[in-house]
Amino acid sequence: MTRCARFEVNHFLAWSLAALAGCAALWAAPPGTASKGGHNISAAEASPVPIILDTDPGVDDAMAILLALNSPAIDLKAITVVPGNVTAKQGLANALQIVSLADKCEIPVAGGAQRYLSPKFITGEFFHGQKNGIANIDLPPAKCKADPRFAADLIVEMIHKYPHQITLVPVGPETNIALAVMRDPSIVPLVKRVVAMAGSLTGGNTNAVAEMNVFYDPEAAQIVFNAGWPITMVDVLVGEESALTKEDIDELATTHGPQNDFAVQLLRFRYHGSDKSPHPGAVLFDPLAVAVAIDPNIIQTQDMHVDIETKGEFTRGETVANRTGTLENDVWNGDRYAAVGLEHVQPNVSVSMGVNAERFRHLMVSTLAGK
């Protein structure tokens, strides 16, 4: 059941016209979905989506890279690497090994930031395999070489080369994307959209409120969320709700190929590592963002104003979402502030509110089978 559906049940009697409009909007075709003769065009029928994947590989990042490398619906322009699950150096090595496994050295893979905008530097190998962050799997040595460009420079260059075409898909801390905006703010209106695996409205996976990518670099996330481009937040809950099942993994294990077999190992690591997670199945946050980049209908969204908490004592890294779209307007009245009404607050983010988990799981297995 989606959160919108749950909302409808819990608040049925109080379901106002506003809620009706809001939830109806969640299930409508999202912005950017092509329409032809009243019918939505499926991802398979549309031209491949040019994307830049910014990643901190990472088990689920590795699955996101595999999806991006193998989906015919994607035109993968570049992979850029950021620290997060592992160090920047390890992440770049992992990305190059994965691209080499796919025999796609023509795709630029560039290193970027070595640390975060945030002064506290954290990495998360504990959840991804202490040896290398990709489930301790020994892949063949990389035959692809790193692109010499700095990730933020490559991102800026690509966006100018393909104006209004690129979808940025950050699935790690958002340092590289923030650096690109800081270096050249003119890229903002030239980006088609941003689909970020980031944030949570329902509790965090690093602390009580913060999702890891945002928690590791809240300052960067605040820049990216408020840059002014269309941004979709693929949050923790939809990631958890779309976990691949044992049956999905067993199905993928019936076919073979270097990437197929690597994916099965990653999925089994994540599935059996679920003792470190309160959620059953192989939870894959990052490839869901890639899937949303090519098929927006995989999730339902609601537009909200979202800021990142960068100072809170207990809430640093929280994605603070304004669900009502209003702020109380308080005016100084001589000896106190007095509320005088509500002000409208402009949405800046499309926030995931539900996921078609079956479609996502099928996409993963069918895309990687035999590769």
Instruction: Tell me which of 22, 30, 50, 58 binds Ca ion, using CB under 5 A.
Output: 58
Closer Cβ to Ca ion, 58 or 204, answer by number: 58
Using CB under 5 A as the binding rule, whether residue 50 contacts Ca ion is answered as no
Residue 173 within binding range of Ca ion, rule CB under 5 A? no
137, 266 contact by CB (below 8 A): yes
Q: Which stretch binds Ca ion (CB under 5 A): 161-169, 220-228, 270-278, 284-292?
A: 284-292
Asked if 124 interacts with Ca ion (CB under 5 A), we say: no
Nearest-angstrom CA–CA distance, 109 and 76 = 11
Kindly state whether residue 61 participates in binding Ca ion, applying the rule CB under 5 A: yes
Nearer CB in complex with Ca ion: 4/294: 294
Site membership for Ca ion, residue 86 (CB under 5 A): no
Amino acid (one-letter) located at 63:
M
Of the candidates 286, 303, 309, 318, which one interacts with Ca ion according to CB under 5 A? Answer: 286
Q: Which of 98, 113, 168, 171 contacts Ca ion by CB under 5 A?
A: 171
Q: How many CB atoms lie within 10 A of CB 114?
A: 12
Cβ-based nearer residue to Ca ion, 174 or 286? 286
- Only one of the segments 91-99, 130-138, 226-234, 286-294 lies at the binding site for Ca ion (rule: CB under 5 A); that segment is 286-294
Give the residue, chosen from 30, 112, 129, 172, that forms a contact with Ca ion under the rule CB under 5 A.
172
What minimum distance in Å lies between the beta carbon of 82 and Ca ion? 9
**Which one of 56, 217, 235, 295 is in contact with Ca ion (CB under 5 A)?**
56
DSSP run (H or E) holding 330: strand 326-332
| β-pair type (74-81, 109-111) | parallel
The residue among 286 and 295 lying less far from Ca ion, judged by its C-beta, is 286
Closest CA to 212 of 369, 7, 58, 63: 58
User: Tell me, what amino acid is at 127?
Assistant: F
- Determine the interface stretch with Ca ion among 242-250, 255-263, 278-286, 326-334 (rule: CB under 5 A): 278-286
DSSP string, 40-109: EPPTTTSPPEEEEEEE--SHHHHHHHHHHHH-TTEEEEEEEE-SSSS-HHHHHHHHHHHHHHTT-TTS-E
The residues that touch Ca ion, with contacts defined as CB under 5 A, are: 56, 58, 61, 171-172, 286
